[in-house]
Amino acid sequence: MSGLRFVEVADRVHVLREPLLEVNVTLVVGDGAALLVDTLSTAGQAAELAAAARAVTPAPWTVVNTHHHFDHCFGNATLAADPPRPVYAHELAAAALRDPQRLRRQAYEEMRAERPELAAELADTELLAPTHTVHTETVLDVGGRRVVLRHPGPGHTDADLVVHVPDADVLVAGDLVERSGPPAFEDSYPLRWPDAVADLLRLTTGATVVVPGHGEPVGVDFVREQHRRLVDQAWLIRAAHTGGAPPERVAAESPFGARPGLVAARRGYAELDGSA
């Protein structure tokens, strides 16, 4: 990640994309204060992220985690432990981060086949739980700028937060919106994900810059199209479940492809059966 830097996408709102997993970090700069949204995967990545942020602003930062998956929060300790800085997350994400052994084990298992070196780093990463929790909505003052942290309901996880910067017309969507690949359904609530995206769309205008969890920033039309496909996915799951069809039937018709569709169908069936 060496040599990467933040790019300004709107007034004093900057985005850095880490190349390994294409994770986005957003930096909001106010007068004498800043906000960092997500902290990457390891202490090494987070240290380089800190240097990139310091190249933009010397202001102290507050940290927000969009959710508790490793690539969005395992850098917390590097960025917010010394000196101590506030860290915000949804209350369920904070609860997950209070069980670091389980999260490290999950991250290791997820990455060990595809990226063994990263998996080894993840297994040894010190985790820092959030200091402040969000239930539905919290408003922050970032150096005179109003920034809204909102939980739009279960979607990619049960603990997603979006970050809205109204004066710059920027919405940081986390993994509720994906650009570099299909949505990840492994911990998802596919029947409710469309409602979560509909909620965040209510925060947008036609000119809103939307920062997805992974990949280049997008416009509102991209988000509307992804919402339409999520609605189609949810309808397929409900119809197949009602008809007693196997999840593989949903996978064959999924707008996101067979593999994501199969994961989504199994998660959706679990929702409908009351086991998710």
Neighbouring CB atoms inside 10 A of 231's CB total 16
Helix, strand, coil distribution of the chain in percent, nearest 5: 40, 20, 40
Strand partners, 140: 147
**What is the pTM for the complete model shown?**
0.96
Per-residue pLDDT averaged across 151-174, rounded?
Answer: 98
Percent above pLDDT 90 for the chain? 97
* DSSP character at residue 85: -
pLDDT of residue 1: 47
Can you list the positions of beta strands (E) in the chain? Answer: 7-10, 13-18, 23-29, 34-37, 61-64, 87-90, 132-134, 137-142, 145-150, 162-165, 170-174, 209-212
pLDDT in tens, 20-73: 999 999 999 999 999 999 999 999 999 999 999 999 999 999 999 999 999 999
Cis, bond preceding 83 (omega within 30 deg of 0)? yes
Distance (Å, rounded) from C-alpha 76 to C-alpha 72? 9
How far is the C-alpha of 198 from the C-alpha of 205, rounded, in Å?
Answer: 13
Angle, in degrees to the nearest 10, between helices 193-201 and 220-242: 160
Radius of gyration of the chain (CA): 18
In this prediction, residue 3 carries a pLDDT of: 72
| pLDDT (0 to 100) of residue 275 | 81
Task: Flag whether pLDDT at 187 surpasses 90.
Answer: yes
All domains of the chain in start order, with CATH: 7-219 (3.60.15.10)
Percent of the chain with pLDDT over 70: 99
Residue linked to tokens 């993840």: 122
The tokens describing 59, both together, are 């202001």
**What residues are paired with 14 via a beta bridge?**
8, 27
Instruction: Give the residue with greater pLDDT, 4 vs 210.
Output: 210
Tokens of 71: 């690539």
> 4 falls in which pLDDT band (50, 70, 90)?
confident
Rounded to 10°, the helix 220-242/258-272 angle is: 60
Residues 79-136: tens digit of each pLDDT: 999 999 999 999 999 999 999 999 999 999 999 999 999 999 999 999 999 999 999 9
Residue 2 has pLDDT above 70, yes or no: no
Q: Please give the order of strands across the beta sheet that includes 34-37.
A: 7-10, 13-18, 23-29, 34-37, 61-64, 87-90, 132-134
